[in-house]
Chains A and B, each alone.
Chain A
Amino acid sequence: MTYALETRGLDKHFGGLHVTRDLSLQIRPGARHALIGPNGAGKTTVINQLTGVLEPSSGRILLEGQDITDLPVHKRVLRGLSRTFQINQLYADLTPLETIGLAVSERLGGGGNWWRRMGTRDDINAEIAETLERFRLLDVMNDRTSTLPYGKQRLLEIAVAIAAKPRVLLLDEPAAGVPEGERKDILAAVAALPRDVTVLLIEHDMDLVFSFADRISVLVSGALLVEGAPDEVARDPQVKAVYLGEAA
Chain B
Amino acid sequence: MTTNAQTEVGFHARQHGRWHWSEFAFWIVVLAVGLAFPSRYLIMTEILRLALFALSLDLILGYAGIVSLGHAAFFGVGAYCAGLLSVHGIINEPVLALIVAGLAATVLGFATSFLVIRGVDLTRLMVTLGIALLMEALAERFSNITGGTDGLQGIDIQPIFGVFAFDMFGKTGFFYSLAVLFVLFLLARVIVHSPFGLSLRAIKNNPLRAAAVGIPVNKRLIAIYTVAAFYAGVAGALFTQTTALASLDVFSFERSADLVLLLVIGGSGYLYGGLIGAAVFRMLQELFQWITPQYWMFWIGLVLVVIVLVGRHRIHAYALWLPNLILRQIAGRKAAVALTDNEAP
| Chain A interface residues toward B at CB < 8 A | 51, 53, 72-74, 77-78, 82-83, 85, 89-94, 97-99, 101-103, 105-107, 110-120, 122, 125-126, 128-130, 132-133, 138, 141-142, 160-161, 163-164
Distance in Å: Cβ of A8 to nearest Cβ of chain B: 24
Which of B7, B15, B210, B223: most chain A CB closer than 10 A? B210
24 contacts between A and B (CB under 8 A): A51-B212, A74-B212, A77-B212, A92-B206, A93-B201, A97-B13, A98-B13, A99-B202, A102-B198, A105-B198, A105-B199, A111-B215, A113-B194, A114-B195, A114-B197, A118-B14, A118-B16, A119-B17, A125-B10, A128-B9, A129-B2, A129-B9, A160-B209, A164-B214
Distance in Å: Cβ of A238 to nearest Cβ of chain B: 34
> Is B312 located at the chain interface by the 8 A CB criterion?
no
Which 10 A-B residue pairings sit nearest by Cβ, starting from the closest? A119-B13, A91-B205, A77-B214, A119-B14, A129-B5, A114-B196, A103-B213, A89-B209, A73-B211, A125-B10
Known: A103-B213, A106-B213. A125 touches B9 (CB 8 A): yes
Chain B 177-219, CB within 8 Å of chain A: the 1/0 string? 0000000000000110111111101100110111111111101
Chain B 1-35, CB within 8 Å of chain A: the 1/0 string? 11001111111111111000000000000000000
The tally of CB-CB contacts under 8 A between chains A and B is 162
Distance in Å: Cβ of A171 to nearest Cβ of chain B: 13
Q: Is the CB of B8 within 8 A of A129?
A: yes
Interface of B is mostly: helix
Could you tell me the distance between the alpha carbons of A142 and B9 in the complex, rounded to whole angstroms?
Answer: 10
> Is B153 located at the chain interface by the 8 A CB criterion?
no
Known: A110-B195, A122-B6. A101 touches B215 (CB 8 A): no
Distance in Å: Cβ of B231 to nearest Cβ of chain A: 14
Chain B 210-247, CB within 8 Å of chain A: the 1/0 string? 11111111011001000000000000000000000000
Known: A91-B206, A94-B202, A112-B196. A132 touches B212 (CB 8 A): no
Which of B13, B17, B196, B197: most chain A CB closer than 10 A? B13
> Is B342 located at the chain interface by the 8 A CB criterion?
yes
Task: Tell me which residues across on chain B come within 8 A of A129, comparing CB atoms.
Answer: 2, 5-6, 8-9
Q: Report the nearest A residue to B191, measured CB to CB.
A: A114
Known: A91-B205, A92-B205, A132-B9. A106 touches B14 (CB 8 A): no
Partner of A122, one of B10, B190, B205: B10
